[in-house]
Amino acid sequence: MSADTVAAPAIDPTFDTIWDELVWRGLIHVSTDQDALRDLLAGPPIVYYCGFDPTAPSLHLGNLVQLLTMRRIQLAGHRPLGLVGGSTGLIGDPRPTAERTLNTRETVAEWVMKLRAQVERFLDFEGDNAARIVNNLDWTAPLSAIDFLREIGKHFRVGTMLKKDAVSARLNSEAGISYTEFSYQLLQGLDYLELHRQYACVLQTGGSDQWGNLTSGVDLIHRVEGVSVHAIGTPLITNSDGTKFGKSEGNAIWLDPEMCSPYAMYQFWLNTDDADVIARLKVFTFLTRAEIEELERLVAEEPFRRAAQKRLALEVTTTVHGPEAAAAAVDASEALFGRGDLASLDAATLASALRELPHADVPAGTQVVQALVETGLVSSVSEARRAISQGGVSLDGEKVDADGVTVAGSLPGGVSVLRRGKKALAGLFVR
């Protein structure tokens, strides 16, 4: 399957409302009044928002849940506001266990621009419900501490703030919580109030771990403006075995291709467990209910084909990085595992793929025997020689039949691919 066959962003017409589709996809973990929300989303266009704090130079897969949820609601005719938190990014929302390290203003400003560009890729800025990007530094920077306390702080009750999950978790930890991070929910509440006043925004979406912050805005608007607005908390995505989703070898799966290559992202999704793949297809792709149900059948009847995983990997990599990068990732994956021509790959894609494998930097002329040891494919020279004598070693797709064969870096970009057996691969960066 090529990237040309990837599903275009669209709502599924088999659902009566976008709310029903969001529920089916498992995207509603917690919310304000569900009946009111269903009617709201089925009615005339509304303005809604989701915020993204620049606490890193890139968004990650957790943020992708929000970006795709925003896109689905926009496709139903509603108008999104993508908020990049130039002010809240200077503070950081409370983590469960420890205080955040405050980044410099210059760093946060730089990350604001990077995150803004990422958010813009997922929304439509044309038409009657065109998206808009906003920065909360625009309304917090001119606000004095006295005005903030008088106009916003007086509407919050400390007892209520202490009950928020993020705050209570920190209060019960050894680290405690600073007044700075304790005040974060006031800033997020101010954001919702300001967007309600400026754009008549009546819905905020976010992760369910942010529910305390989401409801701070709902409560503030009710107190100050006397009207009811809404919030949706999407579930935190976890694997069926209880492990944390979105981590690979201890590293987050970032949306920036410089921090996580398209090949690495493709492989991440390709390795999804059978027990998780259908839920991932619902959340992270625009495939219809009928298409996902067919893939669910294939998982049950022909799991060895991994059709659902291949479709998931292609869909998400295309959505995040575009069809050309996704196609290159597919080509690299197939070539590395014996179903394509390694020499036909572009140098950048091949290099990024090899960095995801065991790899080593070696000088030209290094013997394959030594390269096998340096990449960890074998534990000793004698084991390497034995593997070669048994016919189980290949270099750049060609069988190695003698100890004296050397590495030349003959593939694009001056690299080589070393294989032991059918599945053990390593990359060689030849200098």
State whether 53 and 74 are in the same domain: yes
214 and 287 part of one domain: no
Number of domains in the chain: 3
Which pairing describes strands 79-84 and 47-52: parallel, antiparallel, or unpaired? parallel
CATH number at residue 296: 1.10.240.10
pTM listed for this prediction = 0.91
Instruction: Give residue 151's pLDDT.
Output: 93
User: Are 47 and 175 in a shared domain?
Assistant: yes
Whether 213 and 101 map to the same domain: the answer is yes
pLDDT value at position 247?
61
HEC per residue, the chain: CCHHHCCCCCCCCCCCCHHHHHHHCCCCCEECCHHHHHHHHHCCCCEEEEEECCCCCCCEHHHHHHHHHHHHHHHCCCEEEEEECCCHHHCCCCCCCCCCCCCCHHHHHHHHHHHHHHHHCCCCCCCCCCCEEEECHHHHCCCCHHHHHHHCHHHCCHHHHHHCHHHHHHHCCCCCCCHHHHCHHHHHHHHHHHHHHHHCEEEEEEEHHHHHHHHHHHHHHHHHHCCCCEEEEECCCECCCCCECCEECCEECECCCCCCCHHHHHHHHHCCCHHHHHHHHHHHCCCCHHHHHHHHHHHHHCHHHCHHHHHHHHHHHHHHHCHHHHHHHHHHHHHHCCCCCHHHCCHHHHHHHHHCCCEEEECCCCEHHHHHHHCCCCCCHHHHHHHHHCCCEEECCEECCCCCCECCCCECCCEEEEEECCCEEEEEEEC
Is 379 found in the same domain as 349?
no
160 and 34 together in one domain: yes
CATH number, position 165: 3.40.50.620
CATH number at residue 388: 3.10.290.10
* Residue that is last in its domain, among 356, 373, 404: 356
On whether both 143 and 264 belong to a single domain, the answer is no
Among 304, 330, 356, residue at a domain's last position: 356
Same domain, 63 and 186: yes
Residues 150 and 200 in one domain: yes
The mean pLDDT values, 10 residues at a time, for the chain of 431 residues are: 75 97 98 97 98 96 97 98 96 83 95 97 96 97 94 91 85 85 93 98 96 95 97 92 68 91 95 96 98 98 96 97 95 85 89 91 92 93 91 90 89 92 90 85
What pLDDT is stored for residue 2 in this prediction? 53
Q: Do 47 and 133 share a domain, yes or no?
A: yes
User: What confidence score (pLDDT) does residue 337 get?
Assistant: 81
Which of 323, 356, 389 delimits the end of a domain? 356
**Could you list the residue range(s) of the whole structural domain that residue 384 is in?**
357-431
145 shares its domain with 245: no
362 and 340 housed in the same domain = no
